[in-house]
Amino acid sequence: MSAEFTRAESRDVSDSREAETEGHLQEHDLVAAKAPRIAIEAVMPAIDQGRFAAKAIIDRPVRVTATIFADGHDVLAAAVNWQDAQGNARREPMQLVRPLGLDVWEASFTPRSLGRHSFIIEAWWDTYGTYRDELSKKHQAGVNVELELEEGRRLLVAACERSEAELREALEAVHERFQAMGSPSERVALMLARETAHLMAEADARPHLARSEMSYPLEVDRREAEFASWYELFPRSESGDPDRHGTFKDVHRRLPMIRDMGFDVLYFPPIHPIGHAHRKGPNNTLVAGENDPGSPYAIGSEEGGHEAIHPELGTREDFRELVRVAANHGLEIALDFAIQCSPDHPWLKEHPGWFSWRPDGSLRYAENPPKKYQDIVNVDFYAKDAIPSLWLALRDVVQSWVDEGVRIFRVDNPHTKPLPFWEWLIADIKSRDPGVLFLAEAFTRPPMMARLGKLGFTQSYTYFTWRHTKAELTEYLTELNEAPLRECYRPNFFVNTPDINPYFLQSSGRPGFLIRAALATLGSGLWGMYSGFELCEGAPVPDKEEYLDSEKYQLRARDYAAPGNIIYEIAQLNRIRRENPPLHTHLGIRFHQVDNPRLLFFSKGLVGKEDPVLAVVSLDPFEPQEGGFDLPLWQLGLEDDARLAAEDLMSGHRFHWQGRHQWLRLEPGQLPFAVWRIKRSEG
């Protein structure tokens, strides 16, 4: 007996015939005959065939597809049954996707609430559809259909018999009309009528009903999961004086400026007390001076751990006020969740069983090769006393900040903490507030990057920071648009971070910052920048991807009105993003022909109902680049000589393109990119 038949799987839930039991009949004979006759394959959206939840956004349609087929040539029917987190269930009929050939069916539904949704696919034999199909063909071919009409009448009678109330009455009325009719062609017309088909579908016994092998989970997030602009700053640098530690109160005066630049999320590195032991000095030196503030990632001191606020930043009430005021400016505060501890973290004394001590009573300091964190030690999630108390304590830390109104967490190095821990923690937090978002700060190998998205991280840092050539950008953005990443991985394109001063920007000057800002803002619904980017800061520690005099180890005061800044351009780009729905996601990007390897030409929203956006970005911060490019007219259903209404979204200039072939020149000293909106409706 084959293994498949012992496995619990999709069931044929049609009438469970009582099989005639013969003497030599074994159990498997019965099981096989009850196995689903209809195959349901390749269900999407699904991650690892339903092991993890695919990602969706509230109020945006979810397109479900599946390959559905069975033996023979009869007509099938299919539907998606979906339900929300509260268990409210709905059904959407599926349609066979034309053109034919691959048996792909589709349906769309739009989730209207947050949290864990699920769907299953059902398919069954469409007996009346098959009958109509045959009757129609034979009737058109002029064949005598007396026999078919009698078959139809019997289907009608059977449908009456299994129906009740109004439906039964309606079907009986059809039957009476059928009986009263004299001519076969009248009867054919009645049997083919839409109303008859509708009633018969309602009365359908759904023979050979098959269900997809499982219920596919779908995590519905709020819009900010896919569309948001992040601004990162160190509050301690916001005093305006490099010798005075900044506070939450100091951040207030920055809020209008950040909001005016068009940002939605204001993200702070850890705000907790900083340890003293092995504190780092400026530029990651191993010995700190007396007044050096230390790395905020060395969390914990005698003043508290992950639940506490660094006293120099202000009080808890100061933090609450900042969250409130920021919200009034349309800015949501995001916090860092970095699990590591400084050697002074209270947990080392209170919970020594959460750590893995070495024979000499020391702890191994943290490393994320090639980086070394001598001021940090890690908990051991599987240490003797860690389960479940450490896991619960960490969950409680996150929950405590959720309780303070923080609903976005940037998670530091999640790939060095256990996968089941994250899957549990995220599900646990979201079970109380499905609007909480988690950004995974993992820079590691691709399978782990994807897995963090699968197990629940809302969005993720990416390789964007290291993709610069036309080939690299095209390949990477295409990969993000395809399964499996499309279903599980929402990219947040950070142009820089306190940890990453990209080599490209170290020497590119202002045009390079504009190039990266354009690529990030137009390429992904999610993008982020760390303060200083708008001032085109790029001075490195020599030969390293690190900032010189990094804020990770010292206070920095900046002149945010310094000449040469790109604040205006960033504000413009963020405004363009807000006003153009195709830019609210990384999905739907297409690359187009341009005759210059240093120009990247792409569109967003070419398929759909919104007005699409076109962009050409020069990848060269030094020299002007020009070239011919082809407007994607045929994809818009237009002829090669069509007239196309466009708007230059940076300048507001409106004009018409005439014909497919166009030419453009981008000057790095002016604007190294162009972005247009196409009027779908106007010629």
Hey, how many other C-beta atoms are within 10 angstroms of the C-beta on 395? 17
1 near a copy of itself, rule: CB under 8 A: yes
In the structure encoding, which two tokens stand for residue 244, read together?
A: 């005075």
Q: Which amino acid is at 655?
A: F
Minimum CB separation of residue 432 from a copy of itself in Å reads 11
88 near a copy of itself, rule: CB under 8 A: no
**215 near 46, Cβ under 8 Å?**
no
Residue closer to a copy of itself by CB (options 227, 422) is 422
Binding mask 262-301 for a copy of itself (x = CB under 8 A): ----------------------------------------
- List the interface residues with a copy of itself, window 15-44 (CB under 8 A): 17, 19-20, 22, 24-25, 28-30, 32-33, 35-37, 39, 41-42
Residue closer to a copy of itself by CB (options 125, 268) is 125
Q: Residues within the annotated binding site?
A: 280, 340, 375, 413, 552-553
Find the helix packing angle between 127-140 and 184-192, rounded to 10°: 140
**Measured between alpha carbons, how far is 673 from 515 in angstroms, rounded to an integer?**
7
DSSP string, 273-337: -B--TT--BGGGBSS--TT----TTSB-BTTBSTTS--GGG--HHHHHHHHHHHHHTT-EEEEEE
187 near a copy of itself, rule: CB under 8 A: no
Among the listed residues 164, 166, 360, 543, the single contact to a copy of itself using CB under 8 A? 360
* DSSP class of 53: P
Residue closer to a copy of itself by CB (options 15, 579) is 15
Minimum CB separation of residue 214 from a copy of itself in Å reads 8
Q: Which amino acid is at 649?
A: L
**122 near 211, Cβ under 8 Å?**
yes
Which residues lie across from 107 on neighbouring strands?
64
* DSSP class of 22: P
579 near a copy of itself, rule: CB under 8 A: no
Among the listed residues 6, 48, 371, 475, the single contact to a copy of itself using CB under 8 A? 48
5 near a copy of itself, rule: CB under 8 A: yes
Residue closer to a copy of itself by CB (options 444, 507) is 444
* DSSP class of 497: B
Binding mask 453-492 for a copy of itself (x = CB under 8 A): ---x------------------------------------
Among the listed residues 144, 179, 431, 478, the single contact to a copy of itself using CB under 8 A? 431
In the structure encoding, which two tokens stand for residue 79, read together?
A: 């539907």
The three-state secondary structure class of 83 is strand
In the structure encoding, which two tokens stand for residue 358, read together?
A: 């070495």
**601 near 591, Cβ under 8 Å?**
yes
451 near a copy of itself, rule: CB under 8 A: yes
- List the interface residues with a copy of itself, window 533-552 (CB under 8 A): none
Residue closer to a copy of itself by CB (options 115, 525) is 115
Residue closer to a copy of itself by CB (options 310, 451) is 451
651 near a copy of itself, rule: CB under 8 A: no
Q: Which of 232, 332, 344, 412 is catalytic?
A: 412
Minimum CB separation of residue 615 from a copy of itself in Å reads 31
Among the listed residues 99, 182, 359, 370, the single contact to a copy of itself using CB under 8 A? 359
Identify whether 226 is a catalytic site residue.
Answer: no
Which run of H or of E encompasses 69? strand 62-69
- List the interface residues with a copy of itself, window 111-130 (CB under 8 A): 116, 118
446 near a copy of itself, rule: CB under 8 A: yes
The verdict on whether omega for the bond into residue 99 sits within 30 degrees of 0, i.e. cis, is yes
Q: How many residues are given for the chain?
A: 683
Among the listed residues 355, 373, 391, 476, the single contact to a copy of itself using CB under 8 A? 391
**402 near 433, Cβ under 8 Å?**
yes
Which residues lie across from 40 on neighbouring strands?
68
Among the listed residues 241, 260, 302, 385, the single contact to a copy of itself using CB under 8 A? 385
Among the listed residues 132, 417, 510, 556, the single contact to a copy of itself using CB under 8 A? 417
**493 near 523, Cβ under 8 Å?**
yes
DSSP string, 338-399: ---B-TT-HHHHH-GGGS-B-TTS-BPEEEETTEEEEEEE---TTSTTTTTHHHHHHHHHHH
Q: Which of 92, 148, 441, 534 is catalytic?
A: 441
609 near a copy of itself, rule: CB under 8 A: no
Longest C-alpha distance within the chain, in Å?
105
Which residues lie across from 84 on neighbouring strands?
none
Identify whether 412 is a catalytic site residue.
Answer: yes
Which residues lie across from 410 on neighbouring strands?
336, 439
Minimum CB separation of residue 501 from a copy of itself in Å reads 24
Minimum CB separation of residue 630 from a copy of itself in Å reads 24
Minimum CB separation of residue 4 from a copy of itself in Å reads 6
428 near a copy of itself, rule: CB under 8 A: yes
Q: Please name the residue that has the structure tokens 């070239």.
A: 627
Among the listed residues 256, 330, 418, 628, the single contact to a copy of itself using CB under 8 A? 418
189 near a copy of itself, rule: CB under 8 A: no
Minimum CB separation of residue 252 from a copy of itself in Å reads 37
- List the interface residues with a copy of itself, window 495-534 (CB under 8 A): none
Q: Residues within the annotated binding site for alpha-maltose 1-phosphate?
A: 280, 340, 375, 413, 552-553
Residue closer to a copy of itself by CB (options 217, 282) is 217
Minimum CB separation of residue 206 from a copy of itself in Å reads 14
Q: In sequence order, which residues have a C-beta less than 8 Å from that of residue 667 and are 6 or more positions away? A: 624
Which of 489, 488, 517, 487 is CA-nearest to residue 502? 517
- Size of the residue set binding a copy of itself (CB under 8 A): 82
Minimum CB separation of residue 237 from a copy of itself in Å reads 32
Among the listed residues 44, 60, 69, 130, the single contact to a copy of itself using CB under 8 A? 69
CA 201, chain centre distance (Å): 37
420 HSE (CA, 13 A, CB side): 5
The three-state secondary structure class of 37 is coil
What is the number of helices (H) and of strands (E) in the chain? 17, 28
**Measured between alpha carbons, how far is 556 from 551 in angstroms, rounded to an integer?**
6
- List the interface residues with a copy of itself, window 140-159 (CB under 8 A): 147, 150-151, 154
Residue closer to a copy of itself by CB (options 194, 445) is 445
- List the interface residues with a copy of itself, window 190-219 (CB under 8 A): 208, 213, 215, 217
423 near a copy of itself, rule: CB under 8 A: yes
Hey, how many other C-beta atoms are within 10 angstroms of the C-beta on 77? 24
Catalytic sites, residue numbers: 412, 441
